[in-house]
Amino acid sequence: MILQGLPALAGKILNKLRCPHGDKYLENAVVNGFWAKYLFQIFAISCLFAGGLRAAEEDGPARLALVIGNSSYGTVAALDNPVHDAKLIAKTLENLGFSVSLAVDLGQVEMKRALAQFGRELRASGSDTTGLFYYAGHGVQSFGNNYLLPGDVALSDAADLDLMAVEAQTVLRQMASARNRTNLVILDACRNNPFENIADLDESGLAEMKAPTGTFLAYATAPGSVALDGEGGNSPFTQAVAEQIVVPGLPIEQAFKEVRRAVLDQSQGLQTPWDTSSLVSDFVFAAAPEAPVLSSAEAEELQLWRSVSASRDPVQLMLFLRGFADGVYATEARSLLAEVMAEELSTGVVAKPQAPAGPDEAETALFKAAQQDGALAAYEAYLQSYPAGTYAEIAHTEIAALKAGEGKDPVGREEEVVPPVQAAQAEPAPAHPEAGPLTYASPLVSELEQINGLSLAEIIDQSPIFPPIEGLPESYWKSQSCSSCHQWNRERLCEQANTYLSLNMQRSLNKQHPFGGVLKRNLKSWAAGGCQ
């Protein structure tokens, strides 16, 4: 009955796979009677590999996989999960671009034929091919050799093991003969020993094998140990493998390290997956997404963000947000700032950063040259050399002003905006005209009650009126002095005040500030008088 239905079944497969020479294989199968079943099996496996290989060649270097799962056994205990495990791995590998041949519940002859065909396809596919063999089912060791058990294994003496089973070294020999760059072997075959009562077959688990050059070997558990079959639909090892190999950009070594951690955790330390590698090239199952090409401005912002985020300094984070309030990393910066502040506030002590050393002569000279030049490229050149320099915030403000004619500073009470041309022509009056030029100790005249009558020396020790960054909790900024944020002292304040003498910086005099724009205009007057 089987042979009578064979031609029709083969015809359906031929039409679906369009395998070359299929008609010839089918004709031979029917003519030879008894051998038809086996020839048909060879033909089907050959077509599966050939079709998969053609598809892989169209997409780049081939990725070939043979996946076998044996759950049903005639003379030894059946296993619940190997077929489920094999199907899970096959589907996962197909999604990763592998051409997969899946076979379940095979006898010894069928397993050997599948391995032979797998070796032929590897040898024909080129040196850049990646080969992968996965096996789930019973496996035993004897005299240091490992054997994979087919479904029809029937053993009464250890001496007959190599006649009844499939030696694991057969897999390695087939793969090594292809001389391809990368071969991967994954064995979930250490669940238990079904031959414990047979002399010389009482060892548990598998023995560790030597990996030929360019091979990665992964075992469900350590050599000589027993793995769990799993209470769900899959073994803990295979489930973890399927989850980790799909992570984009994860090297195979790291992937199986994560597998080891997951299985150790699930088994409460009872099962430790093992691997051995002789790979000579890097391999990832799932390629990482290509990094976007950044413009010079984006690269600059990224470089500064990496520096600021690594420091976890709330002051630097606030300054970064002032310069890049709508930048790519603004949300991340606000989140990190909130985290850092929460840590400091939970201790009851808000850290006050130490004032950094002043700029060196080279930085100061480069920034002054940028001011004299006044061009966008000049300020960008300064930031490329000193992305977190003393004058970085001022340089960012200048660049924003040159690009858009306006900038974004902290949110606070809006003031009447003076047109840039008018601001450039109008010099702010000193606090007391009859008293001479504005000095560091002169009381200021301001519409802001909080600073009216205070000197510059006193103001820098005051708390700001508005938050330096929108959404900043009052507990962090309201009781702090401006000098703790800007690291202000007389010398540094004079350096900043002098920047307002620049024609381009006239635009920033009316931008909002935690003390109001009036402070910037008084700083300009002070600088015009020589910072007395």
Q: In whole angstroms, how far apart are CA 155 and each of 75, 149, 171?
A: 8, 10, 22
Angle between helices 82-95 and 236-244 (to 10 degrees): 0
H helices of 417-529, in order, are 420-425, 456-459, 474-477, 482-486, 490-499, 517-528
**How remote is the C-alpha of 454 from its chain's centroid?**
53
Q: Which amino acid is at 309?
A: S
Task: Specify the length of the chain in residues.
Answer: 532
Average pLDDT over residues 54-73: 79
Kind of pairing between the strands at 182-188 and 215-219: parallel
Which has the closest alpha carbon to 448: 413, 472, 489?
413
Q: In what order do the strands lie in the sheet with 274-277?
A: 99-104, 63-69, 130-136, 182-188, 215-219, 274-277
The pair of three-digit structure tokens given for residue 346, joined into one six-digit string: 């939970």
Question: Where would I find the H helices in 152-292?
Answer: 161-164, 168-176, 236-244, 252-266
CA–CA separation, 237 and 221 (whole Å): 8
d(CA 507, CA 408): 12
Report residue 197 CA to chain centroid gap: 49
The string of pLDDT tens digits covering residues 26-60 is 344 434 444 444 444 545 445 444 444 444 444 56
Q: What is the DSSP string of 307-335?
A: HHHHHT-HHHHHHHHHH-TTSTTHHHHHH
pLDDT over 50 at 411, yes or no: no
Does residue 426 have a pLDDT over 60? no
Nearest one of 397, 429, 353, 421 to 512, comparing CA atoms: 397
In the chain, the percentage of residues whose pLDDT exceeds 70 is 70
* DSSP-derived pairing of the beta strands 99-104 and 63-69: parallel
Average pLDDT over residues 338-364: 66
Q: What are the pLDDT digits (tens) for 368-405? A: 777 777 777 777 777 777 777 777 777 777 787 777 65
Please tell me the distance from the alpha carbon of residue 121 to that of residue 46, in angstroms, as a whole number: 9
Q: With bands split at pLDDT 50, 70 and 90, how would you rate the model's confidence at 228?
A: confident
DSSP state of 284: B
Residue closest to 180 by CA, chosen among 122, 251, 245, 261: 122
24 with 55: CB under 8 angstroms?
no
Tokens of 341: 């502040």
Q: Poorest-confidence range of 112-121, 315-324, 511-520?
A: 511-520
CATH numbers and ranges of domains, the chain: 1-60 (no CATH), 63-277 (3.40.50.1460), 291-353 (no CATH), 355-408 (no CATH), 413-532 (no CATH)
| Average pLDDT of the residues in 91-109 | 97
Nearest Cα to Cα of residue 459 among 438, 476, 474: 438
- Quick check: 132 pLDDT over 90? yes
Question: With contact defined as beta carbons under 8 Å apart, do 495 and 489 qualify?
Answer: no
Query: With pLDDT > 90 as the criterion, what percentage of the chain qualifies?
Result: 32
Q: Which two tokens stand for residue 410?
A: 């902290």
Tell me the two tokens of residue 35: 């051998």
Please give the residue that has the higher pLDDT: either 363 or 56.
363
Stretch among 102-116, 136-150, 261-275, 425-439 having the lowest mean pLDDT: 425-439
- Contact (Cβ atoms closer than 8 angstroms) between residue 256 and residue 244: yes
* Half-sphere exposure for 349 (CA within 13 Å, toward CB): 3
DSSP code of 433?
G
pLDDT the model gives residue 40: 46
> pLDDT category, 95, cuts 50, 70, 90?
very high
pLDDT at 486: 52
Asked if 247 contacts 308 with a C-beta cutoff of 8 angstroms, the reply is: no
Cβ atoms of 101 and 49 within 8 Å: the answer is yes
